[in-house]
Amino acid sequence: MSDSPVVGVVGADADAVVAAVESAGGRATAGTAKRVVDESEAVVAVGESALFAVARTGTDDPVLPVAAGAGVRSVPREAVAAGVADLVTGDYERASHPLVDVRVADRTRATALFDLMLVSAEPAQISEYAVERGDDRVARFRADGVVVATPAGSSGYASDAGGPVLAPETDAVAVVPVAPFETDIDHWVLPPEGLSVSVERDETAVHLLADDRVVGPVEPHEPVRVTPAGSIAVAVVAAGRSPFPPA
């Protein structure tokens, strides 16, 4: 980056982050993800929604997550000034976090940084799901839903549902049933290439979610295909949290 880099700020508490950027010797611009990515050499994303929006732009610039989850080594809000100072001065390492594309049949597409989920539209309504990789049937089970989490997202909802937390460098996703009908059901760690999930039988409407967005409905037997979709470069600074949640 330049001696006085332009740092974009996306999300809540923009004024405080702008002040931290300028105090560290940078130039700040705040606004929507699309606008600031086009105008900046680095980005501070405050909150998960802001980080997701920045990831969907496809930027190659370093992104400093703030209060955005352990899986991306985000900086706590109380340590923003120190984290931003390291970003502006270039005192950070770059960590690559994979994105995944998801397609429903041939009509719907979305990109996720943390996770995608098939889930019943009504609470406590069990449907039947299948997980396949290429020509192999991995599993078939009854549950409220199923979540596919990247390493960055594996410490979030997938972990809450009983799934494993993946190290950031793991080249795989965690596939975790949500509130399964069986009590001893497996979870799976699988390469994303060739992976698909589907609704085999539904008791109610099933929706696809990608990170913080509802993408749309999924009909029975429609394949929801997962493919790698590049990555986002996260700036890892001294104030960043461990990628593993505390015990």
Q: Is position 243 within any domain?
A: no
What is the value of pTM for the model shown?
Answer: 0.92
Is the CB of residue 178 less than 8 Å from the CB of residue 212?
Answer: no
Based on the fold, state whether residues 73 and 123 are members of the same structural domain.
no
Is the CB of residue 70 less than 8 Å from the CB of residue 155?
Answer: yes
Based on the fold, state whether residues 184 and 108 are members of the same structural domain.
yes
Instruction: Using the predicted structure, report yes or no on whether residue 247 has a pLDDT greater than 60.
Output: no
Boundary of a domain, candidates 91, 113, 141: 91
Distance CA 136, CA 245 (A): 33
Q: Is position 206 within any domain?
A: yes
Query: 15 in the Ramachandran plot: left (φ > 0), alpha (ψ -120 to 50) or beta?
Result: alpha
Based on the fold, state whether residues 110 and 215 are members of the same structural domain.
yes
Q: What is the pLDDT of residues 88-126, one digit of tens each?
A: 999 999 999 999 999 987 777 899 999 999 988 776 678
Based on the fold, state whether residues 78 and 106 are members of the same structural domain.
no
Based on the fold, state whether residues 116 and 210 are members of the same structural domain.
yes
* Burial of 154 (C-beta count, 10 Å sphere; 0-12/13-18/19+): buried
Boundary of a domain, candidates 91, 126, 149: 91
Based on the fold, state whether residues 70 and 18 are members of the same structural domain.
yes
Q: How confident is residue 229, by pLDDT bands cut at 50, 70 and 90?
A: very high
Q: Is position 133 within any domain?
A: yes
Based on the fold, state whether residues 62 and 181 are members of the same structural domain.
no
Based on the fold, state whether residues 111 and 85 are members of the same structural domain.
no
* Burial of 156 (C-beta count, 10 Å sphere; 0-12/13-18/19+): buried
- Residue 50's alpha-carbon distances to 36, 112, 156, 163, in angstroms, are 12, 13, 16, 25
Q: Is position 1 within any domain?
A: no
Instruction: Using the predicted structure, report yes or no on whether residue 67 has a pLDDT greater than 70.
Output: yes
Based on the fold, state whether residues 108 and 222 are members of the same structural domain.
yes
Instruction: Using the predicted structure, report yes or no on whether residue 71 has a pLDDT greater than 80.
Output: yes
Q: Is position 51 within any domain?
A: yes
Q: Is position 109 within any domain?
A: yes
Give me 33's structure tokens.
């993800």
Distance CA 23, CA 89 (A): 11
- Measured between its terminal Cα atoms, the distance across the chain in Å is 37
Whole-number percent of the chain with pLDDT over 90:
76
Instruction: Find the CATH number of the domain harbouring 58.
Output: 3.40.50.10330
Based on the fold, state whether residues 182 and 226 are members of the same structural domain.
yes
Residue 27: domain span: 6-91
Boundary of a domain, candidates 91, 120, 141: 91
Counted domains in the chain:
2
- Name residues whose C-beta falls within 8 Å of residue 236's C-beta, 6 or more positions apart in sequence: 73, 92, 93, 94, 95
Based on the fold, state whether residues 223 and 167 are members of the same structural domain.
yes
Q: Is position 235 within any domain?
A: no
Based on the fold, state whether residues 148 and 174 are members of the same structural domain.
yes
Distance CA 114, CA 243 (A): 13
Instruction: Find the CATH number of the domain harbouring 182.
Output: 2.60.200.30
Q: What is the pLDDT of residues 172-222, one digit of tens each?
A: 999 999 988 887 789 999 999 999 999 998 777 899 999 989 999 999 989
pLDDT the model gives residue 1: 64
